Structure 1
């Protein structure tokens, strides 16, 4: 019998018309009252039957698992060409329990005898793509009062060096592809004493790395030796307190050095237990891990699955094989992001435009299911699913029952369609590193939730604070608007060695100021409407919020990525547009009167340089802007179209896929300047 109320069912009598309510007596001038979820009691670390640390989550999962599988991977069966097995191999809960104890014990001894350490905290870095060993090492750290520090797999040299020195990390666990980089970096990170090789490599290759490490004064050790060292001298796990630090999670800023968010055992345990409210899966609780474990979103989602004794299959790490991974794994739970879901939606929209009976049937099925969704919240249909939509659901393995969606906005149209086509609950939510990635999410079976991120989850209370410079106030009609502030036991305790940013983010009453602008609708659901920063003034004095405008235009099916640029000396906006190849090929084929395939990269690259195609793309964007009722000065007047995506590697995106505005502008400065040099389009005079 468990002492924890692990999965809390969604109440049958929940009032969808009042999903969050203001706590009486909490209103103050310039802000709303404190909004809390109405479906559950407010969840704190003192609530009965709740988790208070990560060790409790592990022990509960181990008990629930009954010795079943935990971590799985697809075996590599050929290196040339690269080919993976069409199945997953699994490691059991008891096996992982043995390994995490051994690894944690080894680290504990190494810090205790002084071979590791030397900083304020006993920190251990992890630098790897998602593999079972990432999680096993982290589980070992959680059990022995050690602090994990994640290094992004895509971080550049400067950030890696900064984080190791800033967190005073004396040991980094890394896959073999990163070890040469770390050894080259050694003179610049004098605190680094040891590197653990997380993957198996040929003995000769490892000998070279070990010798190189000796030259640099860094001990290079394979993970199996560390594990054997710990197994020979086991230490009992050390129960942490809720206030004990669990991780420093570095957030990739769009400017400057990353900030180290301090998250305690209590913060993460509280976030996990809040997310387990309305977590409804059958006995096959299987998740796929493909979003970076270095980000808090994926880590909390993984902890949720472990808390209920589930299993996690790791993707191959190749984005082009992600759907193949899902079809081999057949997960029941998927933590998703819009960039993945939009691909599915856009591919389906091509099918919807098919001529003849096939296209008619698709459109008829979508119309019927959308009407049913909006009337009842029901996502399945015995006829239309069998005839049409089961094929789309099969893309993700065909067994998904629940999906989380976060990290970026997704259009109402796309979300509604995905709900009816995938046939599962998609709980779109909102969170950030500073609140454990857990702040709000929509309620199950809410028929009108698309376009919102739902009410607060049970451990979080929210309020909106006036932003006078942008015209947002708690008194706005019909709904209050303002900067989103959150408070609860899931919120972080500050930034490491950064008192100024901590004070700027957490006020004296414990509220975390997110920098995002929100609106509570009539049902108590939050909508993200703007960003406090990233506003600029055009030459005629109008303020524009470029991120908001980007979100509007990104809902256009033709757009894969988009960057909006404005100049305070100019009266109108420009954009760099990276189109999606599938709808672009359809547009180009119509214009040219001949088929241009979506995989013909050369033909598409030539097409986007054609002024006729440029004008057609801009016309599609303008339709989207008009449908969203953008003001004239908010509309993009000229565009540069390119097939080169914004990526982390070319400096346009942060590792969490947020736009690096300065770097992107610098990359396309010549093209943007050229667009402004031409005379103002005649239609742009009516702003």
Structure 2
């Protein structure tokens, strides 16, 4: 019997996914078996770090900076201009050291004291320098993002008792208006070019020093302090998810947590697709998205380049064309907007329709390519809209399947989609980038954690369900958070005595060991009360 190309391709894809999943057949009543990555079968320790030399985010920087210290490795937008400037690892290293030293001098805060410091600004060169400085001198970063009102800002400051905060020029007015409700803040460092006399006076009325980022950096550049290195179990960041209308609990993530996530993400990539010193990452994830931390850490460890985009939705394509990244990391909504925009511009032409149909057929047969005839005569311009050099798109759950197919077929770019929670350092599973099927799964567990499902009576999901078990998703591993900041009761509800984090999300395991998310678990009144404690 003759087998068609599509059947062969699907068989290969399923075999690849199966090869990346490992399960134990031992399970408890009301639970599924425990699933792991094939790279760390049961009896082997879960992935923690890339090497014995890299245990903290400070180690990541030191290792990556040594790969190509004089190479042009950082690109960022000039103030309000459509142009990128470049800097080397050596130059950025001096800025990190200068700002960190200056920060200690002007604030009087002592390193290695678990002191939280706010970062209330978009992903940018300044926010990057600040975070790296905090890793170097063992402070705790508190990224504040996507705020819809000053009430949420005040709540973050109140919970963490922030004494110092770094802000962008755009959000400075909001913070100044909130100083009455934020009495713990004593120093504001503004990343921008202008502070008005009125703003200085308003800050002074509340006993707050208002300084420019550049001035703090300059202050510390004269006599840089020696690093005060963190330990792996030290908290690197406290993350608040402020995308909803109410503030969530602060998630404490240690250096060890984030190193485990970075390492597992890298190992989930095919060996020939992993980041190298020739790669350039453009990411649209914010400071508060943990995926931003492990992606930037992975590219730094390889000695690659980082691009700090303008942060404006209308400039997404321009930023990519101007910086020519090889790795493009974006949220589902941004990718879907790009898809819509390109489809509106090119999708109505007969040549594009014929070319896309032909390349979609190639995709379904197991091929992602940029060298077909259609790439030469019709689709090359579409690919160029991301700069022409992108070889990999990294995104998260849930991204529309038609958008993923468009990126793979029309643009000839591989996609890796991940699933994770803030509490798990941003990653739990990763879909194999060579799996082009339309099955709505999110891949098998990555190497830093193991996953199981537990029966959920309210939803009617059980481990005995056919054809696939269903239940609440539980995760355990070195990527799971230290706990919720100053909320021991909520921590004990979320993480049980065996170290399993109860995600509050429902899922199912397919026969090949890949996970599909089905939705959120309904909270009972008792659980909700305990979680808020």
TM-score normalized with structure 2 length: 0.88
Flag the 1:472–1:379 CA change in 2: closer, same or farther, 3 A: farther
1:297 equivalent in structure 2: 291
2:520 equivalent in structure 1: 531
Q: Tell me, in whole angstroms, the C-alpha distance in 2 between the residues paired with 1:503 and 1:288.
A: 37
Matched, 1:271 2:271: no
Alpha-carbon contact 1:116-1:193 (below 8 Å) kept: no
2:484 equivalent in structure 1: 495
What's the offset of the Cα at 1:379?
A: 4.0
Q: Tell me, in whole angstroms, the C-alpha distance in 1 between the residues paired with 2:243 and 2:278.
A: 38
SS at match of 1:517: strand
What's the offset of the Cα at 1:105?
A: 2.2
Flag the 1:384–1:451 CA change in 2: closer, same or farther, 3 A: farther
Instruction: Map Cα deviations across residues 174-218 of structure 1 (whole Å, 9 max, x no partner).
Output: 1223233323322211111111121222xxx44443333222100
Q: Tell me, in whole angstroms, the C-alpha distance in 2 between the residues paired with 1:265 and 1:170.
A: 22
Q: Tell me, in whole angstroms, the C-alpha distance in 2 between the residues paired with 1:485 and 1:283.
A: 36
Q: Tell me, in whole angstroms, the C-alpha distance in 2 between the residues paired with 1:347 and 1:256.
A: 32
Alpha-carbon contact 1:183-1:218 (below 8 Å) kept: no
Q: Tell me, in whole angstroms, the C-alpha distance in 2 between the residues paired with 1:19 and 1:316.
A: 40
SS at match of 1:196: strand
Instruction: Map Cα deviations across residues 379-399 of structure 1 (whole Å, 9 max, x no partner).
Output: 445212223322221121111
Q: Mean Cα displacement is larger for which, 381-390 or 126-135?
A: 381-390
Higher Rg:
1
2:316 equivalent in structure 1: 322
SS at match of 1:326: helix
Q: Tell me, in whole angstroms, the C-alpha distance in 1 between the residues paired with 2:476 and 2:414.
A: 27
Q: Tell me, in whole angstroms, the C-alpha distance in 2 between the residues paired with 1:129 and 1:440.
A: 27
Q: Mean Cα displacement is larger for which, 175-184 or 54-63?
A: 175-184
What's the offset of the Cα at 1:261?
A: 0.2
Q: Tell me, in whole angstroms, the C-alpha distance in 2 between the residues paired with 1:306 and 1:110.
A: 29
Q: Tell me, in whole angstroms, the C-alpha distance in 1 between the residues paired with 2:347 and 2:50.
A: 52
2:3 equivalent in structure 1: none
Q: Tell me, in whole angstroms, the C-alpha distance in 2 between the residues paired with 1:234 and 1:400.
A: 38
Q: Tell me, in whole angstroms, the C-alpha distance in 2 between the residues paired with 1:65 and 1:165.
A: 42
What's the offset of the Cα at 1:411?
A: 2.9
Alpha-carbon contact 1:73-1:315 (below 8 Å) kept: yes
1:31 equivalent in structure 2: 31
Q: Tell me, in whole angstroms, the C-alpha distance in 1 between the residues paired with 2:283 and 2:381.
A: 23
1:134 equivalent in structure 2: 127
Alpha-carbon contact 2:240-2:250 (below 8 Å) kept: yes
1:224 equivalent in structure 2: 214
2:64 equivalent in structure 1: 61
1:258 equivalent in structure 2: 248
Matched, 1:197 2:197: no
Q: Tell me, in whole angstroms, the C-alpha distance in 1 between the residues paired with 2:456 and 2:76.
A: 48
Flag the 1:20–1:290 CA change in 2: closer, same or farther, 3 A: closer
Instruction: Map Cα deviations across residues 327-375 of structure 1 (whole Å, 9 max, x no partner).
Output: 1111111112221222233345557873xxx42x434333332332233
Matched, 1:234 2:224: yes
What's the offset of the Cα at 1:19?
A: 4.1
2:176 equivalent in structure 1: 183
* Alignment partner of 2:163 out of 153, 170, 195: 170
Flag the 1:21–1:74 CA change in 2: closer, same or farther, 3 A: closer
What's the offset of the Cα at 1:141?
A: 0.4
What's the offset of the Cα at 1:482?
A: 1.4
**Unmatched runs of 5 consecutive residues or more in structure 1:** 1-11, 77-81, 536-687
Flag the 1:394–1:191 CA change in 2: closer, same or farther, 3 A: same
What's the offset of the Cα at 1:33?
A: 1.4
What's the offset of the Cα at 1:306?
A: 1.5
* Alignment partner of 1:414 out of 403, 408, 415: 403
Matched, 1:433 2:394: no
Flag the 1:25–1:453 CA change in 2: closer, same or farther, 3 A: closer
Alpha-carbon contact 1:481-1:520 (below 8 Å) kept: yes
The correspondence of residues 377-396 of structure 1 with structure 2, limited to 5 A, is 377-396=367-386
* Alignment partner of 2:94 out of 84, 91, 98: 98
Flag the 1:17–1:54 CA change in 2: closer, same or farther, 3 A: closer
Instruction: Map Cα deviations across residues 514-545 of structure 1 (whole Å, 9 max, x no partner).
Output: 1111112222211112221389xxxxxxxxxx
* Alignment partner of 1:88 out of 84, 90, 105: 84
Q: Tell me, in whole angstroms, the C-alpha distance in 2 between the residues paired with 1:187 and 1:364.
A: 62
Instruction: Map Cα deviations across residues 293-314 of structure 1 (whole Å, 9 max, x no partner).
Output: 2221223222222221122222
Alpha-carbon contact 2:22-2:37 (below 8 Å) kept: no
1:306 equivalent in structure 2: 300
* Alignment partner of 2:278 out of 284, 302, 319: 284
SS at match of 2:427: coil
Q: Mean Cα displacement is larger for which, 509-518 or 378-387?
A: 378-387
1:454 equivalent in structure 2: 443
What's the offset of the Cα at 1:157?
A: 0.5
Alpha-carbon contact 1:19-1:525 (below 8 Å) kept: no
Flag the 1:275–1:461 CA change in 2: closer, same or farther, 3 A: same
Matched, 1:123 2:116: yes
Q: Which protein has greater RCO, CA pairs closer than 8 Å, 6+ apart?
A: 2
Q: Tell me, in whole angstroms, the C-alpha distance in 2 between the residues paired with 1:46 and 1:298.
A: 18
**Unmatched runs of 5 consecutive residues or more in structure 2:** 1-11, 525-533
1:146 equivalent in structure 2: 139
TM-score normalized with structure 1 length: 0.69
How well do the aligned residues superpose, as a CA RMSD in angstroms?
2.7
Q: How many residue pairs are counted as aligned between the two chains? A: 506
